[in-house]
Structures are given as C-alpha cells and as structure tokens.
C-alpha cells in the first residue's frame, strides 16, 4: 500500500495509554500505527517532521531512536523487544518517560484535554509577531524553561514525599517534551523562536499538526 493510500485509510484508534501529544497526532494522521511501530519507521517519521537534513538530521534521528528504544522500559527484555519489534505506543503510560503529574497536565491519564491547563501555559508566554505579520501568544525557550520548572515545583509542593531524590530525573525528562516541540514546531529563529499556544491547543485537542509540519511528513 502506498503512503498516500495508507493515510486515506481509517486512522488507528488512539489509546489513552499513549500520553504523548506528538505521537497521538502521528497516529491520528495515519503516519504511524497505534500499537507497535518499528523503531526505524518511528524514527524516520519523526525525523521528517523535524525538517533537518544532512549531519544535523542524522543526529536528530539518533536521539529520537534512543528515546524510542527506552520508552517502554529500561530492562534488558524491554530493550530487546523494542529493538526487534518496535515501540508500543499504546503502552507508554507509567513507562520510563511518564512524569506522573510533574508535567503540564494538559492531557490527563484518561486522555482528556484540560483547557485550563492550556490557559495556564499561555500565562508563561507573551505575544509574538508571527511570520505572516499577525500577533499570537507563544513561548520562547527561556519561557518554556520557566514553565517546566513551575510544573515540577507544583508537583513537588503537592506531593513532597514523592518527589525526593528518586524523582530528580523528571526535569531531565521534560527536556524531551516542550523543548523538542519548540524545535520542531517553533516559529522564528534563534532567541526569537517561539512555540505557538494556538498550535499547541490544536495538537492536543484536534491531534493535528500545522500545515508546514504536514508538508514535511508527506515528503
């Protein structure tokens, strides 16, 4: 089946146990399946979305591959299964990359989107001039860093007994979420690059990418 025909087919069902908004949009757009996806396929698909080519593209794909390989577990059996079978997208919740409430909380454990959390995200940003001349709310790299720190602090304040030294790696996990979204979906360049709150909402609520990302995925 051709790539075009595959996307014309009904999209796979998206499991609540797939908590990643980017992966959920990939499944909704029929770019990947909703269950087991071979690592080379998943890596190549996300790699296309980055728009990176050459050495930069190879580096990005290597990082994507490593993250995908550990997504379902860190044990040797899980590693071998991921390597030879692929990532299980509908079994990511409670895995090594799950931040257990230390994240944005926009998408809850039942895959319900919370609009109040999107509104909270917007309070950490400011208005930016888009490439088309319009003005929209967005977050720069520095503002995203502040947002992630606030998310972790919120979780730690609510459950201080659960966020001791064993969970200090949660801020590291966050580096693979919002900063990556900024890198892939951001507008502008350098310190002026920002992540559009409106496009974040579309990603979470509609499970849909901006047209410029769709164009990259369809190359």
3-state secondary structure of 196: strand
* Segment 135-144 mean pLDDT: 97
Q: What digits encode the pLDDT tens for the residues 92-138? A: 998 888 887 778 999 998 999 999 999 999 999 999 999 999 999 99
Closest CA to 151 of 113, 178, 132, 129: 178
Return the structure tokens found at 68.
């995908």
Angle in degrees, CA 151, 157, 158, rounded to 5 = 95
- The answer, yes or no, to whether residue 9 has pLDDT greater than 70, is no
Quote the pTM value: 0.89
Number of C-beta neighbours around residue 59 at 10 A: 11
User: Quick one: pLDDT band at residue 1, thresholds 50, 70, 90?
Assistant: very low
Domain ranges of the chain: 1-98, 114-206
- CA max distance for the chain: 52
Q: In what order do the strands lie in the sheet with 126-129?
A: 126-129, 135-139, 195-196
């Amino acid at each position: 089946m051709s790539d075009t025909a595959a996307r014309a087919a009904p999209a796979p069902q998206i499991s609540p146990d797939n908590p990643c908004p980017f992966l959920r949009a990939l499944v909704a757009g029929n770019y990947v399946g909703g269950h087991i996806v071979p690592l080379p396929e998943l890596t190549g698909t996300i790699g296309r979305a980055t728009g990176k080519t050459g050495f930069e593209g190879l580096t990005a794909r290597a990082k994507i591959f490593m993250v995908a390989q550990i997504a379902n577990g860190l044990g040797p059996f899980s590693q071998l299964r991921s390597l030879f079978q692929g990532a299980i997208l509908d079994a990511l919740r409670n895995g090594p990359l799950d931040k257990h409430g230390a994240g944005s909380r926009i998408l809850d454990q039942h895959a319900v989107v919370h609009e109040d959390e999107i509104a909270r995200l917007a309070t950490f940003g400011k208005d930016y001039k888009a490439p088309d001349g319009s003005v929209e709310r967005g977050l720069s790299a520095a503002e995203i860093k502040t947002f992630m720190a606030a998310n972790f602090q919120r979780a730690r304040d609510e459950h201080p007994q659960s966020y001791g030294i064993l969970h200090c790696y949660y801020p590291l996990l966050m580096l693979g979420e919002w900063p990556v979204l900024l890198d892939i979906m951001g507008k502008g360049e350098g310190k002026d690059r920002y992540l559009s709150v409106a496009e974040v909402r579309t990603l979470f609520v509609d499970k849909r990418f901006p047209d410029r990302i769709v164009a990259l995925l369809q190359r």
